[in-house]
Amino acid sequence: MATFVDSNERFLFLSLPLSAALSLACLATPTWADTAAPLIEPPPLAEPSEPVAPESVEPDPVQAVAQAPVSPSAQVSGSIWRSKPGIVFLQTPIGPLSLSSKTTLRDIKSSQKITLWVHGTTTVIDIRERGADKLVHRYVTSMPNFTSPEKQAVALWTPDGDQSFTLGAFQAKVAGRPEEQPLTIEVDGAGTVRGLHDVQYDLQVNQVPRTPSSVRLLLTGTVSKLKSNYVFLKTPLGIVTVSGKTGVRNAKVGQEMSVWVQDRHVAIDLYQDGVSTPSRRFLSGPLAYESGGQNALVMQGPEGTQSIPLTQRPASLSALKEGAPITVELGQQGELVDVRRIN
């Protein structure tokens, strides 16, 4: 998800923009298909009629790394709801995630936790034992950044920081690959390379997280297609499918769009040609008012907390309790356009 003059400058100004459903085609040749539904439709999440009580979020030892303002970037974990040799389907707070491979993913268990990271041109898939937090598999996909002319090791980003991996028995095979072709290596907890694999994945962002989570996502691109209730966003990673349930409305083909997700909050910006500020912003998250009354809404966006004055109180707010999931639509000057409940 007009022409970008400098996307890095834009994201420094916004702090972080937002996103909704994606396919990474340039890294591990993922299967971001031009469809609005996963290969197998996962079971829908419960749609509570009342605000959901906050749940405890697991400690995140790499939180500072994952929050770095890099675009594209992502951190999303999922629970396994179905698997078979070579393919795993997960449910995440923002939608379904599937992993597939012809050479691995043969021993996945329901007791394991899977986390997908995206950091610029690198993706990492971690599979851990949920109780002991023991690393079972780590797949790192990136362009091969050799540390010497002999091509004995590669330097790659990981959730634990930049690391160098000695290729060992895989050196000849890696050195014989085209340097412009992405590389996927499996490494263990000690940093030893255990194999070369093809791992593909498909993540769809179909909803706003209903409970606190460690989800983070930052993407920017151009709207390439509109179909049903989905926006297809062309990004450096491939095609990202953004559901209308994330709050976005009235996008147009060719329009720039950015997507930012953090915890329970989503922000989607639409841009007009040559304009650096969004022509429309959609902020989604739990309903909250400023202290001292109900004269202003408080929402979270890429720049932090945003106060939205209620010069005229929308009728849609009258039946909503604080904590209910809403989308606030803002105009180019930051003026309130609409408030609606997320169904």
Per-residue confidence in pLDDT tens, the chain, 343 aa: 332 233 333 333 333 333 333 333 333 333 333 333 334 444 444 433 333 333 334 444 334 333 446 889 999 999 898 999 999 999 999 988 999 999 999 999 988 999 999 999 899 999 999 888 899 999 999 999 999 999 999 999 999 999 999 999 999 999 888 888 899 999 999 999 999 999 998 888 889 998 888 999 999 999 999 998 999 999 887 788 899 999 999 999 999 999 999 999 999 999 998 788 999 999 999 999 998 788 999 999 999 999 999 988 888 898 899 999 999 999 999 999 999 999 8
| Whole-number Å distance between alpha carbons of 257 and 95 | 20
Q: What is the pLDDT of residue 175?
A: 87
Residue 54 is given by DSSP the state: P
Q: What is the pLDDT of residue 69?
A: 62
Predicted model pTM:
0.78
Q: What is the pLDDT of residue 55?
A: 37
Collect all residues with Cβ–Cβ distance below 8 Å to 178 and sequence separation of at least 6. Answer: none
What is the secondary structure of 172-236 as a DSSP string? HHHHTS-TTS-EEEEE-TT--EEEE---EEEE-B-S--SS----EEEEEEEEEEEETTEEEEEET
Owner of token pair 């974990």: 77
Cα end-to-end span (Å), the chain:
23
The answer to whether 212 touches 263, Cβ cutoff 8 Å, is yes
| Whole-number Å distance between alpha carbons of 337 and 329 | 5
